[in-house]
Structure 1
Amino acid sequence: MCQIISFFRIFGKRSIWVYLVRLVFFLNLFFFLKPDGQAQSSDNIPVLIVDGFSNHDWKQTSAVTKWILEESGLFKVDISTVPEDSMARQSWLPTFDRYAVVIQNTNNIHNSSLRWPKEAERALEKYVAKGGGLYILHSANNAFSHWEAYNEMIGLGWRSQSVGRALEIDSQGNIKRYPPGEGRGTGHGERFNALIQILNRHPINQDYPDAWQTVNTEVYYFPRGDAKNIEVLSYANDSTSTQQNWPVEWVVEYGKGRVYNSSLGHLWEGEIFPPAYRCAGYQTTVVRVTEWLATGKVDFPIPPDFPTADSPSLRNPTME
């Protein structure tokens, strides 16, 4: 119960009604779905989520991501929150080397003054270059355009038309590259049920169907960046805007390290465990990605409720 109360407090001061709704959500999350999980052990893979600022609901994103990972029985997840106070922020320096994977969940797209301290930036660069795993979670690829090494680590992100190369997937499954200045800056249309189509087989998507449907998601058009040492895993058609195919998931080699980046995982302020996070395909992918980042291989099985090309698959914590 203490864990639930701690989880519940992260959302700040709201009306008593919102508190009650969220309490019911987390009670269901822990008690109804817990039997499907596995017990924690000393062999669990250590994972660190970094959060503290974003234009998205970073608190709930971290909380639900931690739950998804620990529910698999494979991981022990800590959260390090960048201090809000600018003076305290300067001394913030996680010990990244204690973890097999770092999940980056900060985004300063609307406030460029919100940055990690230089020492923390250098520590993350060194951690990944030496072989650490880095998970760029949804809007984290919008962040830190000033940070040269970060731009290389993420491969593609939310960048202006003048920055880097944009990648598009043509109707034959070939990658079209737009040089700086051509095409448009990164953006997205409406959220919709997107058909995720496999472009390259990889341990993460091994045995996935060639296409599977996720829900209420954003497909970024003209994702742009350095695009070095990159492999696009999947793509989707941006049916609400450009009508073109754009990368959804990609991996990057940075030194000896592995980086995974994706536009999947949108969670906006005011949403509570939204459909995008209830998707069985998304939850399975989060676990398999993190296992691959940590170990270079994937043993976590494809569940029976994995979505198909014709039908999404949502897991409902209220058991309705």
Structure 2
Amino acid sequence: MSIFKSIVTASVVSLACSGTVFAAGKHLTVLIVTGQNNHDWVRSTPIIERLLEETDRFDVSVSTSPSKDSPDDAWNDWAPQFKNYDVVLSDYNGKMWPDPVKRDFVSYVSGGGHVVLVHAANNAFGGWSEFEEMTGLLWRGPDGGDRLYLDEKEQLVRQPKGEGPGGGHGAGHPYAITTRDDQNPIFKDLPKVWMHVSDELYHAQRGPAKDVHILATAFSSKESGGTGVHEPMVWWIPYGKGKVITLVPGHLGTNDKYPTTYDCTGFRTVLQRSVEWVATDKVTIPRPKNFPDADKTSVVPEAVK
């Protein structure tokens, strides 16, 4: 079986790979881990919290790490209780977590936990092998592992470690997101192609790239400073009995004004649905009537932020 075929067809997996399946009406518990990021986590974390709670599908808690320069005592006292949650969503990109927190996180995922990584959260923790394996593709240099992309014929290419560019992005701009697995419930009833608002388009993500199931891509144009190929935008990986889904759209800078990524109806919907799907293998959150199409973006009114 080809790499691309195995990636796409394997997106419907046995329930054993996703841990407990919850009843459709049950609120899922979500822990957002935050506190450090090279983006404006002070703004993005509350937005994500509101986005999830507005669906009436999730009960959300937030665990904020100590600051980078906090004393050891503060870090020793920080102990997120991952095991108590159906989903852990990371809005974190900063100092390496203490060893006990790392062990608890790996135990959580391998034991059947569910993780969502948003934007720069996949940049984190260089050298933490378990995190890199469960994430698959990360912001790393050319020597940080293999790269996956779709060529001009939309065929999957695996570029070996050390060849080609490392992780980066061109200038922020609106771009089209294309579904690559229309059987996955997150994307099943969405347009094949839809326009996302101005955002960073990550390219040449690197890593172990094992068992990567690509759900959506975007064309990284050379005119915008990109690579000229279709880059993965949303993917997931089974890890032990759990699974991890990564959404690389989601930039929010300190000076970004409305409309931002988090005002995009398409991104908001995919984020909400990803959190539900990663825990249940199902999606009950409906597609909004104003979902974007291939020709134009769609944003919520500024007052909704």
TM-score by length of 2: 0.86
Gaps of at least 5 residues in structure 1 are: 1-41, 109-113
Summarize the alignment of residues 232-251 of structure 1 with structure 2, pairs less than 5 Å apart. 232-239=214-221, 240-241=224-225, 242-251=227-236
**1:154 Cα deviation after fit:** 0.7
Percent sequence identity over matched residues? 38
Corresponding residue number in structure 1 for 2:155: 174
Whether the 8 Å CA contact 2:259–2:302 is kept in 1: the answer is: no
**Partners of 2:298 and 2:259 in 1: how far apart?**
13
Are 1:284 and 2:269 matched, yes or no? yes
List aligned pairs for 1:240-279, cutoff 5 A.
240-241=224-225, 242-271=227-256, 274-279=259-264
* Counterpart position of 1:100: 86
Contact 1:190–1:218, Cα closer than 8 Å, also in 2: yes
Q: Distance in 2 between matches of 1:281 and 1:310?
A: 13
Instruction: Report deviation, 1:163.
Output: 1.3
Cα distance, 1:199 vs. partner?
Answer: 1.3
SS of the residue 1:286 aligns to? helix
Give the structure 2 partner of residue 63 of structure 1: 46
Larger radius of gyration: 1
AA partner of residue 38 (structure 2): N
Aligned ranges 1:68-147 → 2 under 5 Å: 68-84=51-67, 85-87=70-72, 88-108=74-94, 114-147=95-128
1:51 aligns with 2:37: no
Aligned with 1:219 (options 183, 201, 218): 201
1:86, 1:222 → 2: CA distance?
A: 36
Q: Report which structure shows greater RCO (CA 8 Å, sep ≥6).
A: 2
CA distance, structure 1, for counterparts of residue 119 and residue 144 of structure 2: 19
2:180 to 199, 203, 215: 199
**Once superposed, what is the RMSD of the aligned Cα atoms?**
1.4
Q: Distance in 2 between matches of 1:163 and 1:232?
A: 19
Alpha-carbon deviation of 1:265? 0.8
Match of 1:162 in 2: 143
CA distance in 2, matches of 1:204, 1:172: 25
TM-superposed deviation, 1:90:
2.3
Tell me how far apart the structure 2 counterparts of residues 304 and 86 of structure 1 sit (CA, whole Å).
Answer: 49
When the two structures are aligned, how many residues end up with a matched partner?
A: 273
Paired residue type of 1:266: H
Secondary structure, aligned partner of 2:283 = coil
> Could you tell me how far apart the structure 1 residues matched to 2:122 and 2:241 are?
21
Distance across 1 between alignment mates of 2:292 and 2:156: 26
Q: Deviations over 1:228-257 (max 9, x none)?
A: 111111111112122221111111111111
2:252–2:260 contact (8 Å) kept in structure 1: no
**Large movers: runs of 4+ above 2 Å:** 270-275
Residue 205 of structure 2 aligns with an amino acid whose one-letter code is: P
Aligned residue for 2:303, secondary structure, equals: coil
Corresponding residue SS for 1:214? strand
